[in-house]
Amino acid sequence: MKLAVVVDSKFELKPLDQGERIVLFSDDGSIISIKENPGFGYTHGGKEQAMDTILSMGADAVAVKEQFLCPCTYSMSKGRLMYVPVTETNLEQLRLVYGDLKSRAVEDTDPSVYYEDPHAHDTDQHVGPINTKFDL
């Protein structure tokens, strides 16, 4: 099972739009590739950009925790990826239990994984390049 994991610069597991890198593991737990996350820091569309990259990397599964996905990325991945619920917080912890992760893989996931707070973007503080001006 090739597992995709999104991590920050300290190799902590992060939601799709909050990690700088996407790491792809092989069946045996070795790293196949590491790519920059094109969705990092984008408040709108960042998770979708990251999921598109994960799918293009040939992943079989993605590591998930509460609010790691969004409804759109769940829809993009359902039926194409397995979901591996994790409690580990960083890449090193994940590598220690890698042999057990395949048994955690499920075809569907709890809605808490893709739930989004409807008011999460009700602020002027956006992360990443967001253009809110429209020239008419």
The domain limits of the chain are 3-113
What is the fold of 3-113? Nucleotidyltransferase; domain 5 (3.30.420)
pLDDT tens digits, residue range 51-82?
Answer: 999 999 999 999 999 999 999 999 999 999 99
- The tokens describing 27, both together, are 């069946």
User: Considering only CA atoms, which of 36, 40, 90, 44 is closest in space to residue 63?
Assistant: 90
CA distance linking residue 102 with residue 133, whole number of Å: 46
Q: What is the pLDDT of residue 130?
A: 43
Q: What is the pLDDT of residues 82-119, one digit of tens each?
A: 999 999 999 999 999 999 999 999 999 999 999 977 66
Give residue 99's Cα distance to chain centre: 20
Which 8-state DSSP code applies to residue 105? -
Q: What is the mean pLDDT of residues 35-46?
A: 93
